[in-house]
Amino acid sequence: MNIDLAKIRFAATVTLGLLVLSDCAPKKSNDKESGLQASVTSSSDQTLITVPFIAPAHLVSFDQQSVLDAIAGYESNFIANSPATAPDTESAFGLCYQKQLDSLEVQANDTTIKVGGEIDISECFKAFFEASGATVESIKTTIALKYEVHCSSGGTAMYQGKKFSDAGRLNFICASGISKDFAILVGKSAFKISGGERTVEVDMQTDDYFGMADGSPCEQVSDGDIWSLKDGCMAIVRNSYSKYSISGEADALTPRDTYFTSTSEAVTRKNEETSLWYLSGSFKVQLNDWAGEVKNRGADLAPTYELKKGSLLAQGDFEHIDVQANLFQQKSLTQQLKLLKDVQLHLKQK
């Protein structure tokens, strides 16, 4: 998987550990019972960022249709080369969010690009709610992130000091290809909103990671124009809620947590913009209580997926997915706006 800035997702965390430290190598913590590392910690712009690896406590149990709907939201994890697209600079929320992202400064030398730090998008959320007539009683939404890309040859020093949006698509900034990449992103969203006869209170988190299971960057090696991902490159996305209360409802905190992982096996790609999908290999995947495989079929064919839960089977491909809507800042904005609109809907219900 090529991690570029186009794939930033919305991050809202409850268990966000933010400490002021100097830059350091990733630190690991192990879960002896599951065999899966419990967390990875990395620092960015003097901010310590920790992503848990293990599943959250209250996972949604998906039925067959629900898992088919859910897997569509993770298709960008199986795209080899992101198509060109542009950030949302039309909506007020998009402009606000982009402004905060552009407060992050690119750090670059001849072969490495890093972007990271913490941004506060509370005012973006607040303006959205207030524009719809809701009353914001309290709100705090932050995102902490770090992206790191190592190019196989030089030429990237020109990006030193540039804005987040200037870095664009990191997999094509590396003209000769990526040799290593790493991404870690956590954040926190907690707010209390009222409107009409209802009050909605939310406290949720998303943790997003791409790298190896030991917390090191994913490596790629080239053989001519074909690049191979090291086996075991992992993507992890955790969404968990510690609170989702709606006034007038006795049991609002039903299971809402989701947990997605993918792990590469013999995956190859071409380092060219027209090759959207991976050439070969597969990804082992887990989505809540379903597990299975995504199989690559070539640069021009969307991969297929097959997930199982007991005797139940869910299968399909990503052929009809709107790739543009799930990349660049649109990916993040889409997820943020979904949360905001879900809350709006609850406020309007009587």
Q: What does the pLDDT read at residue 218?
A: 93
Q: What is the pLDDT of residues 91-145, one digit of tens each?
A: 788 788 888 888 988 889 999 988 888 899 999 989 988 888 889 999 999 988 8
Q: What does the pLDDT read at residue 122?
A: 94
Q: What does the pLDDT read at residue 169?
A: 58
Q: What does the pLDDT read at residue 116?
A: 85
Q: What does the pLDDT read at residue 206?
A: 86
How many structural domains is the chain composed of? 1
Q: What does the pLDDT read at residue 14?
A: 25
Q: Nearest CA to 314 among 78, 73, 63? A: 63
Q: Which stretches in the chain have pLDDT values below 50?
A: 1-36, 323-333
Q: What does the pLDDT read at residue 346?
A: 56
Q: What does the pLDDT read at residue 36?
A: 46
Q: What does the pLDDT read at residue 65?
A: 94
Q: The domain containing residue 107 runs over which residues? A: 5-348
Q: What does the pLDDT read at residue 335?
A: 52
Q: What does the pLDDT read at residue 12?
A: 29
